A and B are shown apart, each in its own frame.
Chain A
Amino acid sequence: MTSIEDVKRKNETWLMALPGVVGVGIAKKAGTRVIQVLVKDVTKEVRDKVPSMIDGHPTDVVRVGEIRRL
C-alpha cells in the first residue's frame, strides 16, 4: 500500500480545488492515521465529493473556518 504521505501529496491538488476545501493534512482518528480534509464549513457537497477512503487510507473532513494570518 502506498504511504499516507504519498497518497496525500498525490491527491491534494484536486481535493483543494473542491469548493470550500481550505487545506489537506495528516491527522489521527481513533489511533489511525487519516487524510484530513480541512474545510471552511462542512457542507453536503463536500461530504459527497470527498471519498471516505483514498488508495486504502481513510479520510476525515474537519471544519476549520477561514484561516487568516494572525
Chain B
Amino acid sequence: MDIAHAKLVCEASFLGVAVDGLKANVNPNVQGVGIGHKVVHRIATKERALQVYVNRKVHPRLLAAEDRIPDEIEGCPTDVVETGTFAIGRKFPPIYQRRLRPALPGVSVGHHEVTAGTFGALVREGRDVYILSNNHVLANENEGKVGDPVLQPGKFDGGRPDRDTIAQLAGFVTLDADATNTVDAAIATPIVKDDVAPEVLHIGRPKGEAEPEIDMAVRKSGRTTRLTEGRVSATDVTLRVMYSDGFLVFTDQFLVSGARTGFSGPGDSGSLIVDAENRAVGLLFAGSPFTTVANRWSNVAKALKVKLVN
C-alpha cells in the first residue's frame, strides 16, 4: 500500500483538492488529512494510518452514506480525529465549555448577564425539575429576576440568549451582606425537559448524600478545571469571601485541597462535590490559588427544599 497516494485520494475526495485523474469532492465535516500512527483503543500502534480531521465526530450510523469516512482508503486504515475547525490562534473549546444537549452537570452555564459558571446538579422539588448552581452564576448575585434567561454555554463561552437559553431563573437564596450566609445557591427551570440529564460529566449520577469530613476524598466536574480530585482539608469554616460589591461572611463551609494541581478555578462555581461513592457532599462556590470553598450539600438542599434527581 502507498500511504502517500492514499492521502492524495483523501485530499481529492474530502477537501476538493485538484489531483490528476481523481474526482474532486468536498466533505463539509472534514477539516484536513494527515498521516500518523493507527490508534486502537486509545493506544498508538506501529501501523501507519490516514488521519482525517473532522469538526465533530459523529457515529457512522448517524451519517448519510456519502458523508461517512471509510475504514480503509486505498488499503490504508483511517483514523477519524475530532479537531474542530482550525483557525489562527483559536482553540476548539473542550466539551465543558460547549453547547451540549442534553446538558449534563459539569458544563458551562450562566445567567445571561454573568460570564459563566458550572451546572452543578439536576434537582427536583416534588415533580418539578431544576438546574442547580450558585446564586452568583444563575441569579447574578441577587440582581436576577425570576424568569431571566439562563444560557448553556454561559455568555463567556459564546452562549447567546436567542439560541442557547436552556432555562429560566426559578429562585435563589438571597446573599446577605449584613448577616452570615450558609449557601450561594439558585435553581432554574429547564425550558425543554429533555434538554437536561442528571449524569455528571465524567462522574456519573450522584447517589445519596454525605457530610464532609476532614481527609475525605472528593471529586468535582466543572467548566474550567474539568474533572479534579481533592481532599477535605477543613470543616466548620467561617470565612469572608470577595464578591462584586465587597466581602460576604459565610459559616458552616468546608475547604478542599487539590490532589495534584488546584481543585478549582474561576468558572467552576456551582460544581457539585461528591465523595468516592458519588454521594453529594457540597456545592463549590469560592476559592483562591491555595484552596477551594464549598457549601455543605445538606444546607443547600434544605435552603432550596430540593433533592437530587435519581
Answer yes or no: B291 CB below 8 A from chain A CBs. Answer: yes
Whether the pair A65, B290 counts as a contact (CB closer than 8 A) is yes
CB atoms of A68 and B288 under 8 A apart: yes
Kindly provide the distance from the CB of B47 to the nearest chain A CB, expressed in whole angstroms: 45
Q: Interface centre among A12, A22, A26, by most B CB within 10 Å? A: A22
B243 within 8 A of A: yes
State whether B237 touches A70 (Cβ < 8 A).
no
Q: Are B264 and A70 in contact (CB under 8 A)?
A: yes
Q: Is B269 touching A25 in the complex (CB atoms < 8 A)?
A: no
Of the listed stretches B24-32, B91-99, B144-152, B228-236, name the one at the interface; the rest are far from the partner chain: B228-236
Are A22 and B240 also in contact (CB < 8 A) when A70-B268, A70-B286 are?
yes
Given A24-B237, A25-B239, A28-B215; A70-B284 close (CB under 8 Å): yes
CA distance A27 to B215 in the complex (A): 9
Query: B159 an interface residue at 8 Å Cβ cutoff?
Result: no
- Is A66 touching B234 in the complex (CB atoms < 8 A)? no
Q: Which residue on A lies nearest to B214, using beta carbons?
A: A28
Q: Which of B238, B267, B284, B290 has the most CB of A within 10 A?
A: B238
Please, how many angstroms separate the alpha-carbon atoms of A64 and B263 in the complex?
13
User: Closest chain B residue to A60 by CB distance?
Assistant: B234
Is A69's CB under 8 angstroms from B242's CB? yes
The answer on a CB contact under 8 Å between A70 and B267 is yes
Whether A25 lies near B255 (C-beta < 8 A) is: yes
> In this complex, which of B184, B224, B268, B291 has the most chain A Cβ atoms within 10 angstroms of its Cβ?
B291
Question: 23 pairs across A/B with beta carbons < 8 Å?
Answer: A5-B236, A22-B240, A23-B237, A25-B234, A25-B238, A25-B254, A26-B214, A27-B214, A27-B255, A38-B237, A38-B239, A38-B291, A64-B288, A68-B243, A68-B286, A69-B241, A69-B285, A69-B286, A70-B224, A70-B264, A70-B265, A70-B266, A70-B268
| CB contact between A70 and one of B215, B236, B254, B287 (< 8 Å): that residue | B287
The smallest beta-carbon distance between A13 and chain B, in angstroms, is 9
From A5, A27, A36, A70, name the one whose CB has the most chain B CB atoms within 10 angstroms.
Answer: A70
B178: min CB distance to chain A, Å: 16
| B239-282 at interface with A (beta carbon < 8 Å) | 239-243, 253-255, 264-269
Q: Which of B280-310 contact A (CB under 8 A)?
A: 284-293
Please give, as numbers and ranges, the residues of chain A lying within 8 Å of B233 by CB-CB distance. 27
A48 vs B117: C-alpha distance in the bound complex, in angstroms?
39
Known interface pairs A5-B236, A25-B255; A69-B134 also in contact (CB < 8 Å): yes
Whether B38 is near chain A, meaning CB under 8 Å from some CB there, is: no
Residues of chain A within 8 A (CB-CB) of B242 are 66-69
**A residues 2-34 in Cβ contact with B at 8 Å:** 5, 8, 12, 16, 22-28, 33
Contact B288 A66 (CB under 8 A): yes
* Residue B136 interfacial (CB < 8 Å): yes
- What are the 6 A-B residue pairs with the smallest beta carbon separation, nearest first? A23-B239, A25-B237, A65-B288, A25-B234, A27-B234, A70-B269
